[in-house]
Structure 1
Amino acid sequence: MPNYRPPDTMTGTPGKAVFARGTLLYRVHGSHRAARDFNPRPAHCLYGGGRFDGTSCDPYGYLYAGLTPAAAVCETLLRSLPFDPSGGPRLLPRAAVEGRRLSTGRLAADITAVPLLSAQELAAVHQDSWLVHTESHDYAYTRDWAHWIRRHTAPWAQGLVWSSKREPADRTVVLFGDRCPDGTLHTVEEDAVDFSTADGREWLNSLLQPYYVQLAP
């Protein structure tokens, strides 16, 4: 709940989810940034920013990824995209994919994250599904909770993992740059999909079709 401040102490015992070396992670990102790069820019403590970004209150680099290409695409591109009342496909504006690509990264080392998948795992950090399902108007609060979880799981927690809001069958992760060694993620260059190309747009439309979404003309 957004009006519930984190307690002073963590009385639960957070779980540990280990992603083995070699695990593939997928992310949709600006083509100006390499797939392995963490975002170094802190979000504002109150305005803008993502669910679990670092801020000036806890300035860490962050990298969001999906455990499947669908999770990465849905989390990034299908936010607040309404259904057509007439039953037609949802139209994704071309501007939403301009300068973007889907990249694949391979973990070069084991990574340990705090799982936020089940009600029990969320309760262990004094929370419920609000933390991972609320919309952007509450992200200032979810960032504060992420900072609190980090403080109470230092130094071992290198990220968080939760069920994708837009594709609940898949998982989404955020990795913390200050707890992941350099070279944690290796880019698999041959698997990149550039959305500025005809082939990339065809690939994207194929993935989006089961979600009743297509790129706008």
Structure 2
Amino acid sequence: MYRLFSNVSGRRANQFNPGMGSRTRFAYFGNPPVPVLYAAATDEAAICETLLHDVPMAGGMITAEACRDKVMARILPTRELRLAKFMGTGLRTLKIEAKDITATTAARYGETVHWAAAAHAAGLDGAVWMSHRCNTDRAYVLFGDRVDMADLVVDSQWARAFALEPDLAWLTDFCVPLHVEVRW
């Protein structure tokens, strides 16, 4: 799993967001809020789900300045995670379509968060779905009261820090065929 996040908070790659910030597709719910960690199956999907999240599919621009505090790490689960399937036959089981849960706009996050709450109430560790912005790869949300930091080992052999020129250059090259300019 690949996680892209802000380095400003001082959080480690396997440390969950404690429940602060804006509402997202599957957070926040509960009182107190259930901590969450978002990740993706590939580094490309992690980029698409975060840095490119609000860039139109037709293309656009992001600034290097907006990327400088971002880092990406690979995290490896040390146990099998029990995840709600918000994709494939999992959608059919729930009698819904991706457009109802994982392919919505942010305006519907107040609705989609209830699916995460239901997965949590069922005792699951999180959810998996096909990334809407990189639909060849899976995206994940994990619940911090079900998955411990020790369940997610940070791969010390792999990382990207977009404040560093080689990683920012990699990002720039990745974005070119996606019609996204990374303005330095």
Normalising by structure 1, what TM-score?
A: 0.76
- Unpaired runs of 5+ residues, structure 1, are 1-24
Change (3 A) 1:207 1:54: same
Q: Among 158, 178, 185, which residue is 2:125 paired with? A: 158
Change (3 A) 1:83 1:189: same
Partner of 2:109: 139
Matched, 1:71 2:45: yes
Q: Among 18, 29, 33, which residue is 1:59 paired with? A: 33
Partner of 1:14: none
Q: How does 1:1-217 map to 2 (within 5 A)?
A: 25-31=1-7, 32-42=10-20, 48-57=22-31, 59-82=33-56, 90-118=60-88, 120-129=89-98, 130-151=100-121, 153-154=122-123, 157-217=124-184
Counterpart of 2:6, as a letter, is G
Question: Which segments of structure 1 move beyond 6 Å, counting only runs of 4 or more?
Answer: none
Partner of 1:19: none
Counterpart of 2:159, as a letter, is A
Following TM superposition, by how much is the alpha carbon of 1:64 offset from its aligned partner in structure 2, in angstroms? Answer: 0.4
Following TM superposition, by how much is the alpha carbon of 1:35 offset from its aligned partner in structure 2, in angstroms? Answer: 0.6
Instruction: Tell me the SS of whatever aligns to 1:172.
Output: strand
Following TM superposition, by how much is the alpha carbon of 1:159 offset from its aligned partner in structure 2, in angstroms? Answer: 1.0
Aligned residue pair count: 181
Normalising by structure 2, what TM-score?
A: 0.89
Instruction: Tell me the SS of whatever aligns to 1:187.
Output: strand
Percent identity of paired positions between Structure 1 and Structure 2: 27
Task: Give me the whole-angstrom Cα distance separating, in 1, the residues matched to 2:20 and 2:52.
Answer: 24
Instruction: Tell me the SS of whatever aligns to 1:80.
Output: coil
Task: Give me the whole-angstrom Cα distance separating, in 2, the residues matched to 1:140 and 1:58.
Answer: 17
Following TM superposition, by how much is the alpha carbon of 1:41 offset from its aligned partner in structure 2, in angstroms? Answer: 1.8
Following TM superposition, by how much is the alpha carbon of 1:81 offset from its aligned partner in structure 2, in angstroms? Answer: 1.1
Counterpart of 2:19, as a letter, is R
Q: Is contact 2:15-2:149 (8 Å) kept?
A: no
Following TM superposition, by how much is the alpha carbon of 1:90 offset from its aligned partner in structure 2, in angstroms? Answer: 2.6
Task: Give me the whole-angstrom Cα distance separating, in 2, the residues matched to 1:215 and 1:26.
Answer: 21
RMSD between superposed Cα atoms in Å: 1.9
Q: Is contact 1:125-1:149 (8 Å) kept?
A: no
Instruction: Tell me the SS of whatever aligns to 2:3.
Output: strand
Counterpart of 1:144, as a letter, is H
The worse-fitting range, judged by mean Cα deviation, of 50-59 and 61-70 is: 50-59
Task: Give me the whole-angstrom Cα distance separating, in 1, the residues matched to 2:139 and 2:69.
Answer: 22
Following TM superposition, by how much is the alpha carbon of 1:99 offset from its aligned partner in structure 2, in angstroms? Answer: 0.6
Task: Give me the whole-angstrom Cα distance separating, in 1, the residues matched to 2:80 and 2:119.
Answer: 20
Change (3 A) 1:133 1:77: same
Task: Give me the whole-angstrom Cα distance separating, in 2, the residues matched to 1:171 and 1:133.
Answer: 13
Following TM superposition, by how much is the alpha carbon of 1:189 offset from its aligned partner in structure 2, in angstroms? Answer: 2.5
